[in-house]
Amino acid sequence: MGYASSGAGRAAHEALLARQDAELRLMETMKRSLQAKMKSDREYALALSAAAAQGQKMDKCEDLNGSLIASAWRTMTEEWENTSRLIRANAEALESRALDRLITLMTERRKTRKVYQEDHTKISSQFTQLTEEVQRKQSEYQKCLESYKQMRAKFEENYLKCKCPTSRGGRKLDETRDKYSKACRRLHRAHNEYVLLLAEATECERALRTAALPSLLDQQKRQGEATAASWKAILLEVVRRSDFSTDKFREIQGRVECTIQNLKPQDEYKEFMEKYKSPPSTPITFTFDESLVEDTSGKLQPNQLTVDNLTVEWLKEKLTELESTLQDNREKQTALHGPEIIGNGVCKNNNTSVTNGVNGVDRHSPPPIPVTASEPTKLLELRVAERKCARQAELIRAALAELGCEEAPSGCPDLSAETVGGDSLDGSSPDHQVSVSEAERSLVEQEWFHGVLPREEVVRLLRADGDYLVRETTRNHARQLVLSVCWGQHKHFIVRTTPEGHYRFEGAAFPSVAELIAWQRASGVPVTARSGALLRRAVPRETWELNNDNVQLLDKIGRGNFGDVYKARLKTTGQEVAVKTCRVALPEEQKRTFLQEGRILKQYQHPNIVRLIGIAVQKQPIMIVMELVPGGSLLTFLRTRAGALGPRPLLAMCRDAAAGMRYLESKNCIHRDLAARNCLVADDHTVKISDFGMSREEEEYIVSGGMKQIPIKWTAPEALNFGKYTSLCDVWSYGVLMWEIFSKGDTPYAGMSNSRAREKIDTGYRMPAPEGCSEEVYALMLRCWEYEAEKRPHFHQIYTIIDNIYNR
């Protein structure tokens, strides 16, 4: 058909939209015509039946006994009635087997057209965004260059003045030097970002032009052929239901059916494409504006990364970030091809993001589920993103490889190597150096140092005026220490570092943060004059705040949404634990979401709830430390080992889960993601509820965002339709969990997409009982799946029912 090679032009795109509109109009015409035909057939059948009834009303029929004419007439009128019934049956079949399918085909075609137009618009906008981003970055580069030139001129001017014996401009030279150094850094970073963006834009444009757009057009080809095939089947059904088996109808029927049988879906668009054939779009070329580096003394080169003391650390951090992104990208691509553990027991299966628990790695995944219609587009987006990141990483690796083990060269002119008045121009003074490791060590030992504790937790801890603590944050890839104080409201002060390596706020500077805080509290001087905040009571770390250095990571056992999951050991006790880590590069909002599970779990103690040991936030990466449950994921256990278990042990697992959920319900905790993948199995087959990443401590929780992370097949209808969550939503999920347990780990609603399962549930469909499941247990499942939440049992009732069944 030549979509990908011949249909990439604008004219072909507009013609294709027009063609799809015309097809929809034709379908609408066919629908109205079929409705009219069915109406006329029913009316004709009714009239024929009335005629037959009229013909059978023969007066004084006893006088015609033995009459062959009367007998023949009676037979004829009876056959009229039979014919009427056949015509009426054909009309009903035409409605259910042709008209309904045609209406469904129209709906699907409208959706297909909408998706195609949105995807095409998205690809077109990406071309535009690439060009605009390159222009914006070039403009930023130009501004940094102008600033660099100005500061270099001022620095050279002041430097020459200081060379004069009578000059007293040393302090002004220091200020000019600092500004010049900052301008150097900004220029070099702008240069590197511009080079990386050009590389990214080139790869992205090529990927969109050579992969994304052809893939979209090929998908339209397949969908068009599938529509034509379905359309053909509908027309054949109409033909068959219109055949009244007379010679005249057979002659007409034959010609029509022959015409339809000769219809070939693969030739449906042949003439159309020949008529609207157009060349593909011209590639966009991204080139480095060499005028930007004309006045940088050869320090910066077009299309080359600059590796010096101003950029080497940034490049290394950027490379680490890119490698992490590439790893995540590849795992997501693998997940789209079939279920695979990606950490914290996270297993991606079909369109639903699910979890296998903290401790278990699913080594026996079920057979891959067929790829849904939306996944090829997702996979293509991931591959485009991978090419962009891979190209940038390649450039950075090559630049760093050229540097080798040598010290990074200076990013400023040679003037900075000289000294003025015995001090180096970089502002350092050998007589005032402070041991960083010594200062760091004294800081970690302070009970008021809380590491990378999120601001949300800080606000919770600081309650009275004068309460304070010190924490760590990251800003623009740089580590900063922050003093948080409650004074009327919560205030946060960045700890400044002097050129000599000391620490201060507005007053005196000290060699360590511990000495600074001690003086600030003892002196009674406000942290800043404007705030008036005084330090009165240090807020110590809570018992569940662990020291990162006391957690020894052993083996990686999975990968979660926020980072890797490890088997680990606590150095203080020797206890083996499970540790979830959070990637350093994540934004603060996601780090707060990561710690939410720890905040919820820290207050729960129950044998059927996975136990929190602590949270380590003193340094990166932050960690959630939990008990290690050796049996791993319940889903993995069911699929690999539950075949040897009878109904009673399976019922015990259901009872364990009900006990854990009964406890959570009593605490007003809504789990929101209860499933076999999020339960763990101990060595004695005890089941523990795990993964509280989506949980909320409320009696009722309303979701206002999207449904991207919602496990559709486990979620109650009121939560899907209205975003309303209560503990009774967990009851619905518990019913699905029971089904998973008794089906030995089968996938719920197998063979159905998320949207199809949701539609079926709304119409009253419920999954059949698993093989070997008793009627009592299945009846409880059905009670959990009551459409109206108020009709479902609460967990204390569920536990009682299961316990009674188990004891019998």
Residue type, 109: R
Mind telling me the catalytic residues? 673
CB 568 within 8 A of CB 598: no
Q: Residues 236-258, buried b or exposed e (16+ Cβ, 10 A)?
A: bbbbebbeeeeeeeeeebeeebe
Length of the chain counted residue by residue: 808
- Residue whose entry in the numeric block shows the structure tokens 């409201």: 489
- Residue 764, annotated as binding a ligand: no
Residue 339 structure tokens = 């279920």
- Asked if residue 564 belongs to a known ligand binding site, the reply is yes
| Cα–Cα distance, 327 to 281 (Å, whole number) | 32
Report whether 702 belongs to an annotated binding site: no
For residue 626, list its beta bridge partners.
578, 612
The CA distance from 306 to 310, in Å, is: 9
Does 155 carry a binding-site annotation? no
Residue 775: count other Cβ atoms within 10 Å of its Cβ: 8
- Residue 387 marked as a ligand binder: no
Is residue 554 within 8 A of residue 566, CB to CB? The reply is: yes
What does the block give as tokens for 7? 């249909």
Q: What would the DSSP string read from start to end of 435-491?
A: -HHHHHHHHHT-TTB-TT--HHHHHHH--STTEEEEEEEEETTEEEEEEEEEESEEE
Cα separation, 691 vs 671, whole angstroms: 9
Q: For residue 621, is the peptide bond before it cis, meaning its omega torsion is within 30 degrees of 0?
A: yes
CA distance 100 to 230: 12
How far is the CA of 298 from the CAs of 292, 398, 406, in angstroms?
A: 11, 20, 20
742 a known binding residue? no
**SS3 sequence, 214-259?**
HHHHHHHHHHHHHHHHHHHHHHHHHHHHCCCCCHHHHHHHHHHHHH
Cα within 13 Å of Cα(212), Cβ side: 27
Q: What CA dihedral angle connects 217, 219, 224 and 227, to 10 degrees?
A: -160
Query: What is the C-alpha separation between 319 and 389, in angstroms, rounded?
Result: 9
Q: Which residue is associated with the tokens 């069911």?
A: 638
CA 277 to chain centre: 38
Tokens at 415, concatenated: 């003037």
55 annotated to a ligand binding site: no
Are 629 and 681 a contacting pair, CB within 8 Å?
yes
CA 583 to chain CA centroid, Å, is: 16
CB burial class (10 A; 0-12, 13-18, 19+) of residue 425? buried
Q: Which residue has the tokens 């490791």?
A: 437
Residues with Cβ within 8 Å of residue 448, at least 6 apart in sequence: 468, 469, 470, 517, 538, 539, 540, 541
* Residue 553 identity: L
Question: Is 561 annotated among the ligand-binding residues?
Answer: yes
Binding residues for ATP: 557-565, 580
